[in-house]
Amino acid sequence: MAKRIRYEKVTVTDFASEGKCIYKSETDGVIFIEGNVAPGDVVDLEVFRKKKNFQEASVVHTHHYSDKRAEPYCDHFQTCGGCKWQHIRYSEQLQFKEQQVRDHMIRIGKIKDANVLSIVPSGKKLFYRNKLEFTFSNARWLTNEEISSDNVYTRNALGFHVPKRFDKVFTVEKCHLQPDPSNAIRNGLHQWAEGRGLEYYNIRDNKGMLRNLIIRTANTGEVMVIVQFAEERDELIEEVMTFLQDRFPEITSLNYIINQKGNDSYQDQQVVHFSGAKAIRETMEALTFLVGPKSFYQTNSDQAYQLYQIAREYAGLSGSELVYDLYTGTGTIANFIAKNAKQVIGVEYIEEAVADARINADLNAISNTIFFAGDMKQLLTGDFLEANGYPEVIITDPPRAGMDPAVVETILNAGPQRIVYVSCNTATQARDILLLSGQYRVEKIQPVDMFPNTHHVESVALLTKI
């Protein structure tokens, strides 16, 4: 067996994409480093993968810790795949995220003088998410200490998947991402279910009663819980749901799903409403948004408000404009800006999301929004523009993959005066901006930190017609 390559007492150079760091070797080029590491650390590295243009390595020993570090706050830090940057000072996180946006615009978008503004920080560093999903498993991840011990441990778990192990779950004692009563509900259900002897799910053989737990918490204080069961056993389902209803009266919407597929996705599954309201309410300015079990809503409510305010400002609306809101989802942006526009047309692929958008428009007595459901590249055509009007402003908030080339082409044909591009992936945002650059120039780009203690960053770009 070939001896692995090692680098001793090297200084970690910088952050890299996907939450990794890098060491730039003068002789061997870029080496990507995974795990608990920060720029400025002095470490020994061991290479576990060698490619043509780069290597990947892990830290085997740390000689000196960087001053960019912070003390991790979570007991699950070394096991969990979330909050990977909690060991990095928040000011350093923000600097890297802002620089990442700038680098993508220069390198991918070919914008020489990218006007990237100072990133908008998150007011909350902890407990900022309004939705989390937890997995039941009868094959709990065991630590090295547990494996080497003679003790017998329970193998049931309710928590998150171990990174890169789809079949292993570790039990979460306390998650710092979602506010109360999230931890209490999860821990209470886990303790009760184990005591009751209920079967936890095994993803390899697709068996077991309890499968998945989804908790949504709104800024109104309302709480939604959805339990996924892998078996249709009415009496046990009734017992589980009644326990949650009685033990946690703060749950305002209680639902369940019987999912017998090979994965936990539930957009194509029937949701059974058990008790309480069928939706919870989020508020933003004077608006109320109903969030159902399948609804998409930005998972950081406070920062979503910051994001939408920026989008509205960049749209520069006077009240006379026709606005297209592409990838509108549940119509949050469309309804948020409607009072400032003549009419807003939202286009979205998922029909259930469009139904939510219409409900939220009616709920807020908004009469100047229209929503269409369909595949964006097939629906948004020249005929669509002729039938519904050519927009003065287009707001687009695509998924991480960015916009389809056919959608970019239709936008160019539509020729709006301004394009507001909201993105959760600045690499594909920069790629699309380059495709638009023949007719549009970028005025400014505003990064927004939606997910503290992770490498993710959102940005809003304003493009004006040349």
Active-site annotation holder among 21, 80, 175, 424: 424
End-to-end CA distance of the chain: 61
- Give the residue among 16, 115, 8 at the shortest CA–CA distance from 59: 8
Question: In the predicted model, what is the mean pLDDT of residues 275-301?
Answer: 95
Instruction: Specify the higher pLDDT residue, 88 or 163.
Output: 88
Residue 315 has pLDDT above 60, yes or no: yes
Helices 405-414 and 426-436, packing angle to 10 deg: 50
User: In this predicted structure, what is the pLDDT of residue 34?
Assistant: 87
pLDDT, one tens digit per residue, over 106-156 is 999 999 899 999 999 999 999 999 999 999 999 888 777 777 777 777 789
Q: What is the pLDDT of residue 465?
A: 97
Q: What is the pLDDT of residue 262?
A: 86
At 223-238, the pLDDT tens digits run 999 999 999 999 999 9
pLDDT of residue 2: 57
pLDDT value at residue 1? 46
Q: What are the pLDDT digits (tens) for 44-91?
A: 999 999 988 899 999 999 999 999 999 999 999 988 989 999 999 999
- Say if CB 119 and CB 90 are below 8 A apart: no
> With a threshold of 0.75, does the pTM exceed it?
yes
Percentage helix, strand, coil, to 5, in the chain?
Answer: 25, 30, 45
State pLDDT tens for residues 195-252.
999 999 998 888 999 999 999 999 999 999 999 999 999 999 999 999 999 999 999 9
Annotated active-site residue 424? The verdict is yes
Beta strands in 251-321 (DSSP E): 253-258, 271-276, 280-284, 287-291
Say if CB 230 and CB 207 are below 8 A apart. yes
What is the residue-averaged pLDDT of the chain?
94
- Range with the poorest average pLDDT among 9-13, 269-273, 293-297, 319-323: 293-297
Please report the sign of the dihedral spanned by the C-alpha atoms of residue 430, residue 432, residue 435, residue 440: negative
Write out the two tokens for 395.
């707001």
Which residue is associated with the tokens 């991918």? 108
Residue 311 has pLDDT above 90, yes or no: yes
Quick check: 11 pLDDT over 90? yes
In 308-368 the beta strands, taken as DSSP E runs, fall at 322-326, 343-348
